[in-house]
Amino acid sequence: MKKGNTIALLPIGVFLVLYLGLGILFEYVLKIGMGFYNIPIVVVFMVALLAACLQNRSLSFDEKLAVMGRGVGDKNIITMILIFITAGIFVGVVGRSSAESVAYFMLSVIPPRFAVAVLFVVACFVSTAMGTSVGTITLIVPIAAAVSDASGFSLALCVGSVIGGAMFGDNLSFISDTTIAACNGQGCAMKDKFRENFKIAFPAALLSLGVIIALSFGQEIAGEVSADYDLIKIIPYVLVLIGGIAGINVFVVLLCGIVSGSIIMLATGSLGATELLSSMGSGASGMFETSMVAVLVSAICALIREHGGFDALLYRIRRIFKGRRGGMLGMGLLVGAMDIATANNTVAIVMANPIAREMSENYGISPRKSASILDTFSCIFQGVIPYGAQMLVALAAVSELEHTLSAFDIMPYLIYPAFLLVMSLVFIFIPEKKK
């Protein structure tokens, strides 16, 4: 292994110091709500890119532009950006109203004793269908608060169950930012990564469901929640789920979802033609920041690789983590550290991708396993950090309903991320059966 050039990793350090430092300042010193998410992450990455360009004076600026161009022009990066935009259009078309319909439908047919378990299952389904944990939490937490008020279940238990279910879908969904980033960054098919992840996520979800039901039986029931629902809007989500599991090309799957969603929205009068086009545009625009992060990180990483930074990092990783299992654990801790620093699991995966890809080659880890590890460990850490978007959005939704709850009240009830960590370690350390 080459020892590389440690100083070439400076741009990553610049980004982490600026982003984490400003995030802590905004969130905990200045007490600005959603402090980490008020930082213009694209601007911070531009500063990191400037730091990368100022290094390695053996190359002219034009030569560095050529290096960046090769990094950004990689097939996987272009594919990732196109999928981001298409997924954004899909979510813009179908909207998010079906999530409430699914929740109220299940609450109406399942006994009130299992209401918290219903919240967890609904959050799992909705986040898997929509591909967004934050969007799921925004929609389901108000329902969780209503369930708590009506039934007497602990509000922290209800909200923690929703966050856990939301992270289940964030990890497994075919149109999740994290899935798109991990699969294209590691060069594997989404269906292959889904199969690897399912072995980890599904047992963790079953164990979590069992614990939630056990906790539910320890509380008294006062009442139940009911509301109108309309299940026809769920059809596009179901089509996307079935198409993804069947292994159909992701662009074809999303196109089917967009067409079916458009027909349903127009036929039911939920949207007019002009509003539908506007929603498509808004959905695509919502992916701008994520797409720009992918472009900038690709450019920065290309310069770091050229300057020997990745060789230096891999040299040190190989000295600490031995063997294939050690490599997988090191990969998981790498993306976890990135997530703790950025409080954004998609950004963490995009940053860790090029390093993880070289690690997978050095340690003999298949692309689908490396993609699975990156996505799973990023979701584990993102699901529990008290300053992550998921926790902050949940607390904001609860606060708007005039309830008092803190992140530390909810954290003991983040059951699913804990079981996901356990199953991930089992996945890494239990030997596979030889075929």
Query: Cα angle at 356 between 87 and 43, to 5 degrees?
Result: 60
Q: CA-CA distance, 355 to 274, in Å (whole number)? A: 44
pLDDT tens-digit map of 318-371: 788 888 888 899 899 888 888 887 777 887 888 788 888 888 888 888 899 999
* pLDDT value of residue 35: 67
Assess whether pLDDT exceeds 60 at residue 434.
no
The per-residue pLDDT for 223 is: 62
Q: Average pLDDT, stretch 33-39?
A: 71
pLDDT tens-digit series, residues 113-131: 888 899 999 889 888 877 7
- Quickly state the pLDDT bin for 146 (edges 50, 70, 90): confident
Residue 165 pLDDT level (bands cut at 50, 70, 90): very high
pLDDT, residue 264, reads 86
pTM, to two decimals: 0.80
* Res 404 pLDDT > 80: no
User: pLDDT tens-digit profile of 74-112?
Assistant: 777 787 788 878 888 887 887 666 667 777 778 788 888
Q: Is the pLDDT of residue 220 over 80?
A: no
> Contact at 8 Å (CB) between 182 and 347?
no
pLDDT given for residue 398 in this prediction: 83
What does the radius of gyration of the chain's CA atoms come to, in whole angstroms?
22
Question: What pLDDT is stored for residue 120 in this prediction?
Answer: 93
Q: How far apart are the first and last CA of the chain?
A: 31
DSSP secondary structure string for all residues of 77-125: HHHHHHHHHHHHHHHHHH-SHHHHHHHHHHHHHS-GGGHHHHHHHHHHH
Judged against a pLDDT cut of 60, whether residue 435 lies above it is answered with: no
- 266-309 per-position pLDDT tens digit: 888 877 888 888 888 888 888 788 788 888 888 888 888 888 88
Which pLDDT score is estimated for 372? 92
Task: List strand residue ranges (DSSP E) for 139-265, in order.
Answer: none
- Per-residue pLDDT of 168-199, as tens digits, reads 988 888 878 888 888 888 888 888 888 889 98
Q: What's the pLDDT tens digit per position in 51-70?
A: 999 988 888 889 999 999 98
pLDDT band at residue 261 using 50, 70 and 90 as cut-offs: confident
Provide the 8-state DSSP code for 200.
H
Give the residue among 88, 119, 113 at the shortest CA–CA distance from 288.
88
More confident residue, 225 or 88: 88
Amino acid in position 192? D
Sole residue written with tokens 């997530």: 339
